Structure 1
Amino acid sequence: MAMRDKFPDLPPIWAAGFFVAEWVAASVLPIVTFGAPLTAALGAIFAFAGFAIAIWAAIWFGRKKTAIEPGETPTALIVEGPFRINRNPIYTGMALVLIGVALWLGGLSSLLIALSFPSVITTRFVRDEEARLRKAFGAEAERYFAKSRRW
């Protein structure tokens, strides 16, 4: 199934929605504010690291010539590069960007929204992707799951 058939139910769209929700929450209901140059700088570091991890992981999909889109049948089990750190480095990168944005915005409500992203993505995408890997790679996938973290 092509990505356009799944639009808008795609991880980057979910991340963009979380970004908008963070922005609105910081503007309308910040709960506790902690905006300072230090938190803004820390936010920039988190966001940069998140983008870097996601790009690094995307490069590995190209190297292994396997589909990057959720819902597609994988043709390779990627266990190198950032996939040695955890099984979902692109989603981890997205989460780090959202945490960085929350720190930059300086509102607790934004941070709480960012921290809920992994749970939503796990429910919506990760479990299905893990099932696809199990189906495609069997025991090899199970060994990888046993020695790696989901997040």
Structure 2
Amino acid sequence: MKKRLHIPLHYLELPPVWLAVFAALAWGQAQILPMTVLGLFGDIAGYVLVGAGLVVSGYAALHFLLERTSLIPREKPDTLVTTGMYRFSRNPIYLADAAILTGLILIWDAIPSLILVPVFIKLIEWRFIHREEALIRDHFGEAFDAYCARVRRWI
């Protein structure tokens, strides 16, 4: 009998998967009902947003690696990361994900799908940020509360 690889669902349900789902919805909408209203400006703005999102996400993730703490949303962090991008936003990677989604929507001329961006943000808050903040608060206490007082959740 073959052994089956068992991967718990919570390891698959991660923010990049949700980003891919929302991007797929926008791409599908663009295939059915493209709306070329912004033309070249939309393409340029879209590529800038996607590029900036990738740079911000990579730079922010690098801080987790340098601090030798987990980047996985449900794992308890070893260090409270407050440097780099985290001086300006408590969630620069999620902010970068929203920028990437917005950029893809502009590139694909999926203007009606712009409504997906605030839905994506709310879903990320509900599925990940609230739990992460509770976990971090339990682990770091007043240090995290002081950080929250100094730095906004988004920007």
TM-score (norm 2): 0.89
Q: How many residues align?
A: 147
| Of 91, 95, 100, the match for 1:97 | 100
Distance 2:117 2:32 in 1: 16
- Mapped pair 1:16 → 2:20: yes
Q: 2:66 aligns with which of 58, 63, 67?
A: 63
Q: Which runs of 4+ in 1 moved over 3 A?
A: none
What is the CA–CA distance in structure 2 between the aligned matches of 1:110 and 1:40, rounded to whole Å? 15
For the pair shown, which has the larger CA radius of gyration, 1 or 2? 2
2: distance between equivalents of 1:58 and 1:29?
Answer: 36
> By how many angstroms is 1:8 displaced?
2.5
Q: Deviations over 1:15-58 (max 9, x none)?
A: 1101101101122245x542401110110000000000000011
| Unmatched segments (≥5 aa) in structure 2 | 1-6
Is the CA contact 1:22–1:114 (under 8 Å) kept in the aligned structure 2?
A: no
Q: Could you say which residue in structure 1 is the equivalent of 2:85?
A: 82
| Contact persistence 2:27–2:110 (CA under 8 A) | no
Establish whether residue 117 from structure 1 lines up as the match of residue 120 from structure 2: yes
Query: Which residue of structure 1 aligns with residue 146 of structure 2?
Result: 143
Distance across 1 between alignment mates of 2:38 and 2:24: 18
Q: Distance in 2 between matches of 1:12 and 1:90?
A: 10
Unaligned regions of 5+ residues in structure 1, if any?
none
Among 116, 131, 134, the alignment partner of 2:134 is 131
- TM, length-normalised to structure 1: 0.92
- Is contact 1:35-1:104 (8 Å) kept? no
* CA RMSD between the two structures: 1.3
Supply the distance in 1 between the matched residues of 2:17 and 2:110 (Cα, whole angstroms): 22
